[in-house]
Amino acid sequence: MGQLKRKNYWLDETTIKKAQQLFKAKSETEAIQKALELAVFQEEAVKAWKEGAGRGGVEGLDVQ
């Protein structure tokens, strides 16, 4: 994690509370941090999936 910095934003309180419950965060700040980390992770994952697309496949997968 990078350096922490105090910021002030106008955010929807209902959405923050929902995120806090979803992430089981102890504070609103923790909920917002986790939501931001998830957004960054998702973007990185999609980029990796796109870069790996078409490079081989899954063989021998027996799904029942």
| In the chain, where the domains are located | 13-49
Alpha-carbon dihedral of residues 15, 17, 18, 19, nearest 10 degrees?
90
For residue 24, the one-letter residue type is: K
What size, in residues, is the chain?
Answer: 64
pTM above 0.85? Answer: no
The DSSP symbol for 50 reads H
Residue 60: left (phi > 0), alpha (psi -120 to 50), or beta?
A: left
pLDDT of the chain, 64 residues: tens digit per residue: 789 899 999 999 999 999 999 999 999 999 999 999 999 999 999 888 888 777 776 666 565 5
